Amino acid sequence: MTSGKRLFFLVILLVLVLYVMRVTAFSRVEVTPLEKILVDTFAPLEQVTARLGRGVRDIVTFPFSLVNASRRARELSEQVARLEGELHRAREYRLENERLKKLLDFKSGPAADSGLKVTAAAVIGRDPGNWFSTITINKGRAEGIRENMTVLTPRGLVGRVIAATDRTATVLLITDPRSAVSALVQDSRTPGMVEGTAGSAGSLRMIHIPNDMPTRPGQVVVTSGTKSIFTRGIPIGEITSVKRDPTGLFFEASVRPFVDFNRLEEVLVITGTHPPAS
């Protein structure tokens, strides 16, 4: 190509560039006829190209999205499990604090008013052969606990200590058939003996109730303290039914204990007495 032709093409190219620059200036408002034709012609192609681009992008990024979603779901599941665990622990702490507060209130209230020295202990074991026979607590001789000391909760009588080591003690529950508690019907002062019943789920019965002093359901039974190792006046339970015993010489009554022996977790041991609080 000769130099003249090259110069001619350069001039034409320069003119075209200047023209394009003029028609595409930012300050321009109107669209030229040529631009309209070009836009209308290539608009469908641009739409197809854009759709294809989005489709390709979605196909390429889909596996990564699945991986991210799976990881996020796993993280959320772990977070939910952790929060549920914290919620359960917080609820357990709250319930424990409520139980301990009741023990403290009883220790500083009714026990102090009655002149009783009490030591709080936690239940750390049960007789596997008989759930309502004995329990083991985490206090022993080092804390002043001895055999035959009375064990109770703020709700009522639990039993008595039958053995003690330096750090633990074994408590015979009043629901055990081997247990016998000298008792009174609280309002009528009717005497009797409360004992556990064999093969029952923690129920009690009051026997040797005199014929001339009948009882009725709803009356409260407490310890009598007469010739007994148990401290006087501790609530035992409520009479639910009354009948004559097989000999016909006495009445006997079924007694529902105030203490829930299925949920026994903390107890109080009466370790001595002091002048009642004024």
Q: Tell me the average pLDDT across 23-30.
A: 54
Question: What is the pLDDT, as a whole number, of residue 213?
Answer: 83
Q: Is the pLDDT of residue 275 over 80?
A: no
User: Which residues pair with residue 134 across a beta bridge?
Assistant: 172
Question: What is the pLDDT, as a whole number, of residue 28?
Answer: 52
Global confidence as pTM: 0.64
Query: In the structure encoding, which two tokens stand for residue 108, read together?
Result: 């500083």
Average pLDDT, the chain: 79
Q: Is the pLDDT of residue 153 over 70?
A: yes
* pLDDT-based confidence at residue 99 (cuts at 50, 70, 90): low
Q: Residue with structure tokens 């009354």?
A: 242
Question: What is the pLDDT, as a whole number, of residue 24?
Answer: 57
Question: What is the pLDDT, as a whole number, of residue 257?
Answer: 94
* pLDDT-based confidence at residue 144 (cuts at 50, 70, 90): very high
Comparing 64-78, 103-117, 228-242, which segment has the lowest mean pLDDT? 103-117
Question: What is the pLDDT, as a whole number, of residue 161?
Answer: 95
Q: Tell me the average pLDDT across 199-225.
A: 88
DSSP labels, 141-205: GGGT--TT-EEEETTEEEEEEEEE-SS-EEEEETTSTT-EEEEEETTT--EEEEEE-TTSSS-EE
Q: Is the pLDDT of residue 21 over 70?
A: no
Residue 62's H or E segment, with its range, is helix 33-108
Q: Which tops the pLDDT comparison, 257 or 111?
A: 257
Q: Is the pLDDT of residue 159 over 90?
A: yes
C-alpha–C-alpha distance, residues 151 and 136, integer Å:
12
pLDDT above 70 coverage of the chain, percent? 65
* pLDDT-based confidence at residue 141 (cuts at 50, 70, 90): very high
Q: Tell me the average pLDDT across 90-94.
A: 67
Q: Tell me the average pLDDT across 225-249.
A: 88
Q: Tell me the average pLDDT across 16-45.
A: 58
Comparing 13-22, 125-134, 148-157, 174-183, which segment has the lowest mean pLDDT? 13-22
Q: Is the pLDDT of residue 46 over 70?
A: no
For residue 89, the tally of other CB atoms under 10 A from its CB is 10
Q: Which tops the pLDDT comparison, 139 or 273?
A: 139
Q: Is the pLDDT of residue 97 over 90?
A: no
